[in-house]
Structure 1
Amino acid sequence: MLLAMLLLRQAAALQRCTPSLRRTVTRMAASKSVTIKRGKARLFRDGNPLVYGGAVERTSGDVSRGDAVEVVDGAGNNIGWGFYNPDSMYRVRLLPGPMQDDPMQAVRSLIETACERRSALNLPSEATSAFRLINSEGDGLSGLTVDAYGAHLVCSISAAWAEARRVEITAALEESYSTLIGEKPQIIWRPAVARLRSEGLEIEADDDADNDAVEATESSLVYEVDVWGQKTGFYCDQRDNRNFLAPLCAGKRVLDLYCYSGGFALSAAKHGASQCLGVDSSRRAVELAQRNAERNALDGICSFVSSDVSAFLNANTDEYDVVVCDPPKLAPSVRDLPRAKRKYQKINALALNAVKPGGLLLTCSCSSAMTTSEGAFLAMLREASKDAGKRLTVLRTAGAAADHVLHPAFPEGAYLTAALVQVVDR
């Protein structure tokens, strides 16, 4: 009886509301939502786009993987909205702006904005057609990364919501990106298989057998892009660092460690380096770099060898005017940082010994855990210089190119550190 009376009172109260408020209350009552635990709401209200499982108090409505959900605090106050996945460590990936009846309308709008943002950065340009078009959290689309190579778009997916909406995302990319280049792009999907499996999906890597080679330009150099190689095929994030370093290499001998497709070596050669040697453990990468040198008529200056970098440096007796050391990610997470620091220190000590006194070392880390641990990279480099018996002067520290836009409440997005140092003997 008491329950019936309460329900009657709620119904009467709802009838006294304005029609607009009544629709809002009814929608919220019927909507799918995620409630954040007490004390956790501020983090996400301040903008962090990733709601971890430990922050979730409960869900309401028939919520399943990939659903758009409203995110609220314990009092029912709106925090935001996003895509839900009960199988992911990120229970909700928040998107900016108000929730819409059609969540894909919001996604389409964010893709359009991302294209406009690159246009404001003068991308693409006559000299550069390789760039980051969508930078996941930085562009408000957590779990979706898109790199542009001329008329080709390579999409790396690491979230279930995006994998389930390939068709709609393809249509949105075709519509928005065509306004930048004047033609319909070809979309290539590169799902992050391991990440998607951790999201609860049973997925296999796409077959690359039928895909032709892709060509793109950076700073007027022409590159063959192996879209089934490392990352999405090319390291667009290092563009600004290559452009800064290259003029400093005029007349110099350059060693490019972990060279992949030859970006640093070719940039240096174009700006007058006398000799460039690239080293990478991947034979496929070395062959790609050699082809890129040939297509830019720089094969007389650039050469490449397939070797483990540590083994090469241990056997190397030559010294170079400029050395680039850009290893793969060594610290996938914060808990890997102690072990990764030791690896970084060892490889940097070896790299320092390959630099002529007074020469330059550009050394990098693409591990977010290292970059966001304040002072960790330079502290590691200091220890490496002790091991090598060298003294360093830091000339410049930098991050990724400007098209790798950042979310101010998501510092993990600033993953790249590139430190340029001058090296002298102690």
Structure 2
Amino acid sequence: MPPAPNDRIENDATEPSDTSPSDEVHDRDRTPQWRVKPGRQFPFLARHPWVHAHALIGGGKAIGGKAPENETQSQCGDVVDLVDIDGNFLAQGLINPASRLRIRLYSFDRRHPICDQFWRDRIDLAIARRRLAATETGEEAERLIFSESDLLSGLIVDRYADTLGVQFTAGALLRYRDLILDHLRQATGCEKIVVRIDERTAKFEGVSAESGTIVSPEPISPDGVAYRQNGLDLVVDLVSGQKTGGYLDQRKNHAAAARYLHGKRVLDVCCYTGGFGLVAAKAGAAEVIGVDSSEHALEAAKAAAERNELSGRMSFVRDDCFDALRAFADRGEKFDAVILDPPRFAGSRKQVDQALRAYRRLNTMALDLIPSGGMLVTCSCSGRVSRAEFVAMLTDAGRKKRRDIVLLENRGAPADHPTSATCPESEYLKCVIAQVM
């Protein structure tokens, strides 16, 4: 993002409008303090929002058979101050004693403590940030809040036409759940909201899962929420689909890739509900074969193809991505373009090497199906895998197959999925459009 708007947003974001100076002093005097270990303060001086248990004095572990005193006093969602070993203020955040990500930091200025208005202001600023360069109409979809990138760690909000998909990934934020949902209604004018907390998040955060809880005075159609995207009429299942519904981070990449696919035979691997393949067919691809392991996703993809009168050029295969690529190669099939958009292979740093091996294998197999001059669109949503590592993996795949790979576009997420300079983990999506020689 441009420097000037960023500076303005950061300054405005830390000013809650309903807290007087006297209230700030009173709140600060009552706020519990958590102390970081010696030498562990530097990420928080740089405004990184995640404080893991092992960085804290006591670390949430029992000492001499007893839990640390502040651990027994802190409840999930409590506001706490983070201080260094000498007691100097670092930041203020919310604590969750049940999570290894013990404290999420939101305010780095002690003059502006966390309060109800603090959350309203942050939500307003996130939505205003989308209006800086937004081109989506009311019938389309966009991400309104992107967790750490919008200084709201643990909250993701997508808008599909007149309906919001809200995902909580921080158990501590549930203390403010009603306030957040009420203000989202007011700020967006969307009365229909679906809230999700996936089972994996619930386990790590020590909270109850919510699988598509409808918070709305109006019913949501069991057929899903209709919206427009890339010239297509689409439907998203916010109640039982993935996370907040669709994968909006790829929508600009769908359109970019489609420009190279007119008149081509395309294999879309890990197509989910249609993704790249639908937009390619809409843009004039001669044939698209979509592959995914989820029957539910493929049924949605088929329905989308029929809805947009693309069924004549699209077909779908239910199979594992590796098995499908091997089967096509065994039959000697060739494609003018292969698209790879697999799920996340690395959920932690320990899994990076394993993930890179999986990406290398997947891309190597895809190269066997592409004739000289054909296209490869390959993606990674593993935030732990850097862009440099991903491109190096692609280089290795080309070397192994004695193929030259020319990168035409090296893309990421769109502007409504911004990256926080203080939280590099928020830059996760890689999408390479390349020609294979």
Pairing 1:188–2:194 present? yes
Contact 2:196/2:213, CA 8 A, preserved across alignment: no
Pairing 1:73–2:88 present? no
Contact 2:265/2:288, CA 8 A, preserved across alignment: yes
Match for residue 275 of structure 1? 287
What is the aligned counterpart of 1:257 among 269, 293, 300? 269
Contact 2:196/2:243, CA 8 A, preserved across alignment: no
Alignment CA distance shift 1:22-1:345 (3 Å) = closer
Determine which structure has more spread, i.e. the larger CA radius of gyration: 1
Listed one character per residue, the Cα deviations across residues 49-102 of structure 1 (whole Å, up to 9, x for unaligned) are: 111112223685942211011222233332221111122121211114646566
What is the aligned counterpart of 2:188 among 177, 191, 198? 177
Ranges in structure 2 where 5+ consecutive residues have no aligned partner = 1-19, 59-68
Deviates more, 1:31-40 or 1:81-90: 31-40
Match for residue 236 of structure 2? 225
What is the aligned counterpart of 2:302 among 251, 275, 290? 290
Pairing 1:45–2:51 present? no
Match for residue 65 of structure 2? none
What is the aligned counterpart of 1:201 among 192, 204, 207? 207
Match for residue 356 of structure 2? 341
What's the TM-score once normalised by structure 2's chain length? 0.85
Contact 1:137/1:143, CA 8 A, preserved across alignment: yes
> C-alpha distance in 2, partners of 1:397/1:102?
39
Aligned residue type for 2:291? V
Listed one character per residue, the Cα deviations across residues 121-158 of structure 1 (whole Å, up to 9, x for unaligned) are: 325326x6122111010111111111111111111111
Alignment CA distance shift 1:375-1:265 (3 Å) = same
Match for residue 17 of structure 1? none
What is the aligned counterpart of 1:143 among 142, 154, 159? 154
Ranges in structure 1 where 5+ consecutive residues have no aligned partner = 1-19, 179-183
Alignment: residue pair count: 397
Match for residue 8 of structure 1? none
Pairing 1:133–2:144 present? yes
Match for residue 32 of structure 1? 32
Identity rate, percent: 36
Partner SS state of residue 165, structure 1: helix
> C-alpha distance in 2, partners of 1:21/1:106?
14
Partner SS state of residue 216, structure 1: strand
Aligned residue type for 2:194? I
> C-alpha distance in 2, partners of 1:109/1:367?
31
* Displacement after TM superposition at 1:284 (Å): 1.0
Contact 2:90/2:108, CA 8 A, preserved across alignment: no
Pairing 1:367–2:382 present? yes
Deviates more, 1:62-71 or 1:410-419: 62-71
Pairing 1:402–2:408 present? no
Alignment CA distance shift 1:220-1:421 (3 Å) = same
> C-alpha distance in 1, partners of 2:44/2:157?
25
> C-alpha distance in 1, partners of 2:230/2:23?
55
> C-alpha distance in 2, partners of 1:75/1:23?
25
Aligned residue type for 1:71? L
Aligned residue type for 1:332? G
Contact 2:272/2:298, CA 8 A, preserved across alignment: yes
* Displacement after TM superposition at 1:391 (Å): 2.0
> C-alpha distance in 2, partners of 1:81/1:162?
14
What is the aligned counterpart of 1:314 among 326, 329, 352? 326
Trace 1:374-413 onto structure 2 (pairs within 5 A).
375-413=388-426
Alignment CA distance shift 1:27-1:275 (3 Å) = closer
Contact 2:93/2:114, CA 8 A, preserved across alignment: no
Contact 1:322/1:361, CA 8 A, preserved across alignment: yes
* Displacement after TM superposition at 1:280 (Å): 0.8
Alignment CA distance shift 1:202-1:272 (3 Å) = closer
